[in-house]
């Protein structure tokens, strides 16, 4: 009997190394599986008596279990509070308080969320909650991990909303006096800033003036720019709580000083707070204090302080309309020109040279400039109000054209979202933007089409009627390229993977009988609709 010869096997040196490598790969794949298996001793430690009640099991796991088991108990706290609040408060909560002193980040974050859930579900009265939970929250506010500290702070800020005034005053406001001192840690002072912004709406103006404002002034002048920035962002909440008179005499001077701070983040916070508080300043404050500051920000934004450029472009519409009544014709024109300049930022130089003559921009600069133009698109309806719709074609049409043809999708997307507002503002002059409607319908990005489709029936109604003559003939002549643009948009959506955009567009086609004639529907749309009905696959489940 002859031995079997395995002619297929090749035990040459190169192939042998290949087999060994394959075996090593299998070993590596197996290793995590072996490590994940528990030894009998580990299983014994993780096993809990099934006869224990939920409360007893929770106490046992917090006392003797592993960290992951303790975290599970903390996550289950809201359910325990719903089932048996009295026993949970008496037996489980003290254990949680004890464990949190040495707990890791995961358990701390879980506890902050669970405490907030208990508050939101109103499992106990607010008096009981403040007595049982508030001190634990306050103890963990200054955790060394910033993420944990912020999680507890968010829980505390939500609790402050529900707490009685006296509890807030004695348990939270009074200790702030020491926690806001310069001798305290940076984290402690940052927490104090945010708490003061929250408590400002809880008390009368005279209490805030006496007990809160001295601390606010101190933190606005803190040696750390992070604290000054944080306190500056809370000044809006404080101003709303103290009213216009104190805002004018106390908050506004602080904002003016912070607007000239050496830290760019502080200046940015001061600018945004000023914009948000415009409605609280009278005409004198706006013209004598706010307007000079805003002009200074605009002048520096292209030179020494580009950090404010994105924020300035975002708030420009609100700013222009908020200061509208105090602008001189020259100032009005200057702000309009500033907006136009921002709208094309990054596309061309001020002197009109082409892109080849531009200095090489960093990726960060390019992203910033795209965001600025996107913000200009967002503010376009507000700028129409600023110049008056009747002046649109003369003052803003060229910018509208540029933004609708911007090379970046986010800018065109924002214009598509704003298109309906623009059409409403133009009213009978809406015919001036017919071409841009067709352009956006034919945009290469389906995201732009999706944004436009949301208000497509209303836009088409405005476009075709224009408050003049509702005859079918006038409808047909109003936008010659409308029907081809609509059919092209539908076909592009149909051949893409974005079936939701296609579905949305088809739903909006229900408006067509009000827009075009029955003959146009019959010859240009009916056959396509029948094809979709008969051949289109079902929607994904």
155-211: pLDDT as tens digits: 999 999 999 999 999 999 888 877 777 778 888 889 999 999 998 888 888 888 888
| pLDDT category of residue 9 using cuts at 50, 70 and 90 | very low
Beta-carbon count within 10 A of 152 CB = 24
Q: 174 is written with which tokens?
A: 């009074």
16-55: pLDDT as tens digits: 445 445 545 544 444 444 445 666 665 555 565 566 788 8
Average pLDDT over residues 146-156: 93
d(CA 293, CA 299): 10
Judge whether 280 and 247 are in contact, CB under 8 Å.
Answer: yes
| Residue, of 426 and 354, whose pLDDT is higher | 426
60-100: pLDDT as tens digits: 888 877 888 889 999 999 999 999 999 999 999 999 999 99
- What's the pLDDT at 361? 59
Q: 417 is written with which tokens?
A: 């979202």
For the chain, percent of residues with pLDDT exceeding 90: 57
Q: Is the pTM here over 0.85, yes or no?
A: no
3-state per-residue secondary structure call for 179-195: HCCCCCCHHHHHHHHHH
Q: Which sign, positive or negative, has the C-alpha torsion 139, 145, 148, 150? A: positive
SS3 content of the chain, % helix, strand, coil (to 5): 75, 0, 25
**Three-state secondary structure call for residue 531:** helix
Residue tagged 């006038």 (tokens): 474
Judge whether 77 and 118 are in contact, CB under 8 Å.
Answer: yes
380-414: pLDDT as tens digits: 999 999 999 999 999 999 999 999 999 999 999 99
Q: Which of 186, 201, 281 is nearest to 234 (CA)?
A: 201
- What's the pLDDT at 436? 95
Mean pLDDT comparison of 307-311, 458-462, 474-478, highest-scoring range? 458-462
Q: What are the C-alpha distances in Å from 224 to residues 219, 230, 236, 266?
A: 9, 10, 20, 10
- List alpha helices for 379-408, DSSP H: 380-387, 392-395, 397-404
- What's the pLDDT at 467? 42
Angle of CA points 316, 322, 326, to nearest 5°: 110
For the chain, percent of residues with pLDDT exceeding 70: 84
Residue tagged 């601390």 (tokens): 215
Q: 171 is written with which tokens?
A: 């348990």
Q: Which of 103, 183, 113, 117 is nearest to 145 (CA)?
A: 103
| Residue, of 359 and 168, whose pLDDT is higher | 168
Judge whether 146 and 188 are in contact, CB under 8 Å.
Answer: no
Q: Which of 48, 55, 103 is nearest to 79 (CA)?
A: 55
| Contacts of the segment 12-19: beta carbons below 8 A, 24+ positions apart | none
Q: What are the C-alpha distances in Å from 63 to residues 76, 88, 91, 108?
A: 16, 15, 11, 16
Average pLDDT over residues 295-316: 84
Judge whether 511 and 520 are in contact, CB under 8 Å.
Answer: no
Instruction: Report residue 168 CA to chain centroid gap.
Output: 30
Q: Which of 237, 332, 251, 236 is nearest to 289 (CA)?
A: 251
Instruction: Report residue 75 CA to chain centroid gap.
Output: 27
Mean pLDDT score across all residues of the chain: 85
Instruction: Give the distance between the most distant pair of CA atoms in the chain.
Output: 114
First-last CA distance in the chain: 64
Judge whether 258 and 220 are in contact, CB under 8 Å.
Answer: yes
- What's the pLDDT at 105? 93
- Length of the chain equals 541
- What's the pLDDT at 6? 42
Q: Which of 270, 275, 286, 282 is nearest to 234 (CA)?
A: 270
| pLDDT category of residue 478 using cuts at 50, 70 and 90 | low
């Amino acid at each position: 009997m002859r031995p079997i010869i395995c002619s297929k096997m090749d035990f040459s040196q190169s192939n042998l190394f290949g087999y060994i490598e394959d075996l090593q790969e299998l070993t590596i794949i197996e290793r995590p599986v072996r490590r994940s298996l528990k030894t009998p001793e580990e299983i014994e430690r993780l096993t809990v008596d099934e006869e224990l009640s939920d409360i007893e099991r929770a106490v046992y796991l917090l006392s003797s279990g592993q960290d992951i088991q303790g975290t599970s108990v903390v996550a289950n706290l809201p359910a325990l509070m719903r089932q048996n609040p009295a026993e949970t408060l008496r037996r489980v909560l003290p254990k949680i308080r004890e464990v949190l002193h040495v707990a890791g980040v995961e358990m701390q974050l879980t506890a902050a969320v669970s405490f907030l859930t208990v508050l939101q579900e109103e499992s106990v009265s607010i008096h009981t909650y403040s007595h049982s939970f508030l001190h634990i929250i306050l103890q963990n506010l200054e955790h060394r991990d910033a993420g944990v500290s912020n999680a507890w702070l968010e829980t505390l800020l939500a609790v402050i909303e529900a707490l009685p005034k006296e509890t807030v005053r004695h348990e939270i406001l009074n200790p702030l006096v020491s926690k806001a001192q310069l001798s305290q840690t940076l984290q402690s002072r940052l927490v104090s800033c945010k708490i003061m912004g929250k408590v400002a709406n809880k008390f009368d103006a005279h209490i805030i003036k006496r007990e809160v404002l001295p601390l606010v002034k101190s933190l606005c002048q803190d040696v750390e720019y992070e604290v000054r920035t944080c306190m500056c962002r809370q000044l809006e909440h404080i101003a709303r709580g103290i009213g216009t008179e104190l805002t004018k005499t106390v908050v506004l001077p602080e904002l003016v000083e912070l607007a000239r701070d050496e830290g760019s983040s502080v200046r940015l916070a001061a600018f945004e707070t000023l914009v948000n508080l415009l409605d609280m300043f009278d005409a004198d404050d706006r013209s004598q204090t706010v307007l000079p500051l805003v002009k200074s920000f605009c002048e520096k934004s292209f030179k020494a302080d580009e950090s404010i450029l994105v924020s300035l472009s975002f708030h420009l519409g609100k700013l222009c309309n908020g200061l509208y009544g105090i602008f001189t014709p020259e100032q009005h024109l200057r702000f309009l020109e500033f907006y136009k300049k921002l709208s094309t930022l990054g596309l061309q130089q001020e002197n009109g040279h082409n892109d080849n003559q531009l200095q090489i921009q960093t990726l960060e600069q390019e992203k910033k400039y795209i965001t600025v133009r996107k913000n200009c698109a967002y503010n376009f309806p507000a700028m129409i109000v600023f110049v008056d719709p009747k002046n649109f074609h003369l003052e803003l049409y060229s910018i509208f054209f540029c933004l609708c043809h911007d090379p970046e999708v986010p800018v065109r997307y924002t214009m598509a979202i704003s298109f309906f507002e623009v059409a409403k503002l133009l009213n009978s002059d809406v015919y001036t933007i017919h071409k841009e409607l067709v352009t956006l319908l034919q945009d290469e990005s389906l995201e732009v089409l999706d944004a436009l489709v949301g208000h497509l029936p209303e836009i088409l109604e405005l476009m075709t009627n224009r408050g003049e003559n509702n005859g079918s003939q006038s409808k047909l002549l109003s936008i010659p390229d409308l029907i081809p643009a609509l059919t092209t948009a539908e076909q592009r959506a149909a051949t893409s993977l974005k079936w939701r955009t296609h579905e949305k567009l088809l739903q909006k086609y229900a408006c067509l009988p009000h827009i075009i004639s029955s003959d146009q529907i019959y010859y240009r749309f009916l056959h396509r609709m029948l094809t979709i009905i008969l051949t289109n696959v079902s929607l994904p489940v």
